[in-house]
Amino acid sequence: MRTLISTTFVSLDGVIEAPGGEPGYRNAGWTFQDIEFDPAAYELKGREQGEATAMLLGRVSYQAFSPVWPTMTEEFPGYNAMPKYVVSTTLTEEDLVSNWGETTILRSLDDVAALKETEGGPLSMHGSATLNRNLSDAGLIDRYHLLVFPVLLGAGKRLFSETDKAKQNLKLVESESYSNGVQKLVYDVIR
């Protein structure tokens, strides 16, 4: 069984929308604005590239990343080389880019559950706010890799839904604080 890891930048108040500057959100680019760069805070991101064997994305994140990440050969060589799975009910094969490696469209959360049952290493899910919330609510996420930024953003897409569900315990397996106020929190989901 494969491990599904949700990896994200998150504000202290739980917002994950447009951390890198994606258009349409008033606080776009919040991870790089007014926060001193500390390379140590991003060590987790480099490690993830070496540990993951495939990427999982929602349609919106795929459409934001696919024009850019394939050209970032120095920053994302591991991610660019690995297979990608995009969860979407509307994306077609013609919508996929041809320069970002093997990409498979999954149509449902059941398809994600079936993918997790296959042989292989960890699946790394980036961005994908709606997919993140849906997978969390369905109990399909096994681990959270969070870089928590010392900002309050108010409005914006949140990491977790407001669904009324049973309590889910997490186990902190790694944490670190950095000079710029960013905190790394790695949690395993307790089943």
Q: Helix 109-116 crosses helix 129-137 at what angle (to 10 degrees)? A: 70
Decide: 124 and 48 in contact? Cβ < 8 Å: yes
Answer whether residue 14 shows pLDDT above 90: yes
Reply yes or no on whether the pLDDT at 21 is more than 90.
Answer: no
Confidence of residue 188 (pLDDT cuts 50, 70, 90): very high
Among 36, 1, 26, 4, residue whose Cα is nearest residue 139: 4
User: What string of DSSP letters covers 137-171?
Assistant: HTT---EEEEEEES----SS-BSS---------EE
DSSP 59-115: HHHHHHHTTTGGG-TTT-HHHHHS-EEEE-SS--GGGS-SSS--EEEE-SHHHHHHH
Digit-coded pLDDT (tens) for 125-169: 998 999 999 999 999 999 999 999 999 999 999 999 999 999 999
Contacts of 61 (CB under 8 A, 6+ apart): 126, 127, 128, 131
CA-based angle 167:15:25, to the nearest 5? 150
> Does the structure show a pLDDT above 90 at 22?
no
Identity at 44, one-letter amino acid code: L
pTM of the predicted protein model? 0.95
Kindly state the average pLDDT of the residues 13-22.
92
